[in-house]
Structure 1
């Protein structure tokens, strides 16, 4: 990516998202967020402008939350959403998730919401292998992202058009190297995460899922 990454888009990201998809992405993003209730340590990866962080603070009022993002601009937007009390229990970290240091056997929930589509399959494998030691054995992984519908027809054609447009736009604006949707969910399953719940929207173009860690760290 460019060194400034998503910084130029931080101020306008939510508006761009709404213009393109209305509330559909936000509904997909937070479809399974109720699963965060009662969690004590939460790791948010690539949360962007902090909408996920704000909701996580609301649903898990006693949790310690770490939010990691490569973009300083996005983290500033996220910080603006926090109340003074929440700032005492939230850590905002500007870092590359592929190399950031995470404490072992710590988190009981991790989220990647419209985030893993920024990586190649090999990078996603690295991300999963890098993050998993920091998860408790029964931790959940909340996932939301775009998907290419399996059944051929207008829904699949529409998804291909949208994906081509989005990858072109973000390659232009951020230097994103990815040109096609990676098989993120398949890689989570291969790594040993078990699917607990799933929801599809917009003709299966938007996916939300809950996975559970089945490995003892």
Structure 2
């Protein structure tokens, strides 16, 4: 099964911290602080689930979360997390195979789209876009390669990651797709963004401008 991190579940967080320090954690914390009480939230690709505890620290109760993860081992770890008083529905599925039956106030996609080839990026983006309520927030963080001198070492790290996780976890792509064009095509408004790890990691908060009805 492509893009399944079962084989990396037991060491993934440790490896991420070894390579990136707290950059990946801080990138997601930047997003989580924009979550407010009483919201319905879709999380896609949450990994080991530590982000559920970060969300509970911001909103201890009153949230309804749907947590979609393709890796059974990652999902098992996620279920052990302290989610506070929030209601969490855990879904073992790839997002492309999951039938979304409700709309959400917030969609959170941490390091999701870097796993996909462009065809799957298009289909998953469309699927999630249709499930986001008008005026809803899309919280995105992922890697980026800058068009400057830093892009040289960023490309080297990125290709090393693609080689390793392609071999170990069957990640389907070797090319990072820039997501900005997808959001611009659907007239999303970029509210805020911040970079981490010398520009290699970017967190962005988008607001949907689509009309209800």
What's the TM-score, normalizing by structure 1? Answer: 0.91
Give the length in aligned residue pairs.
211
Query: Is 2:117 the counterpart of 1:145?
Result: no
Contact 2:190 2:207 in 1 (8 A): yes
Residue ranges of structure 2 left out of the alignment (5+ in a row):
none
Contact 2:20 2:197 in 1 (8 A): no
Question: For the aligned residues, what is the CA RMSD?
Answer: 1.7
- The 2-side partners of 1:102 and 1:125 are apart by 16
SS state at 1:91 partner: strand
SS state at 1:124 partner: helix
Contact 1:195 1:209 in 2 (8 A): yes
- The 1-side partners of 2:29 and 2:121 are apart by 21
Tell me what 1:135 maps to.
Answer: 132
Tell me what 2:164 maps to.
Answer: 169
SS state at 1:196 partner: strand
Contact 2:162 2:171 in 1 (8 A): yes
Query: Is 2:180 the counterpart of 1:185?
Result: yes
1:105-154 deviation per Cα after TM superposition (whole angstroms, max 9, x unaligned): x2100101111100122211111211222221011000101100122x1x
Contact 1:124 1:187 in 2 (8 A): no
* Residues 1-217 of structure 1 mapped to structure 2, 5 A cutoff: 1-2=1-2, 5-60=4-59, 61-82=61-82, 85-86=85-86, 89-104=87-102, 106-151=103-148, 153=149, 155-216=150-211
Q: Structure 1 residues 19, 29: closer, same or farther in 2, change over 3 A?
A: same
Detail structure 1 runs of 4+ shifted over 6 Å in the superposition. Answer: none
What's the TM-score, normalizing by structure 2? Answer: 0.92
Contact 1:39 1:109 in 2 (8 A): no
Contact 2:43 2:108 in 1 (8 A): yes
Q: Structure 1 residues 7, 38: closer, same or farther in 2, change over 3 A?
A: same
Residue ranges of structure 1 left out of the alignment (5+ in a row):
none
SS state at 1:63 partner: strand
Contact 2:140 2:203 in 1 (8 A): yes
